[in-house]
Amino acid sequence: MLKNDNFIFLNWNAPPNVHAAMTTRIKAHPSSPPSKGGKNNCYADFNLATHVGDDLENVLKNRRLLKTELSLPNEPFWLEQIHSNTVVEVSTDLILPRADASYSHQKDVVCAVMTADCLPVLMCSTDGTQIAAIHAGWRGLANGIISNTVAALKTTDLIVWLGAAIGAECFEVGDDVRDTFLKKSADYSIAFKAHPPRPPSKGGDWQADIYELARIELLQLGITQIYGGEFCTVTDAEHFYSYRRDKQTGRMATLIWRT
Ordered per-residue pLDDT tens for the chain, 259 residues:
455 678 999 999 999 999 999 999 988 764 544 444 444 467 778 999 999 888 899 899 999 999 999 999 999 999 999 999 999 999 877 788 999 999 999 999 999 999 999 999 999 999 999 999 999 999 999 999 999 999 999 999 999 999 999 999 999 999 999 999 999 999 999 999 997 765 554 556 899 999 999 999 999 999 999 999 999 999 999 999 999 998 989 899 999 999 9
- The pTM of the full predicted model, rounded to 2 decimals, is 0.91
Query: Following DSSP, what letter does each residue of the chain receive, concatenated?
Result: -EE-SSEEE--S---TTEEEEEE-SS---TTSPPP---TTSTT-S----SSSSS-HHHHHHHHHHHHHHTT-SS--B--B--S---EEE--TT-SS-B-SEEEESSTT-EEEEEESSSEEEEEEETTSS-EEEEEE-HHHHHTTHHHHHHHHHT---EEEEE-S---TTT-EE-HHHHHHHHHH-GGGGGGEEEPPP--GGG--SEEE-HHHHHHHHHHHTT--EEEE----TTT-TTT---HHHHSS---EEEEEEE-
Which domains, ranges and CATH numbers included, belong to the chain? Answer: 2-166+224-258 (3.60.140.10)
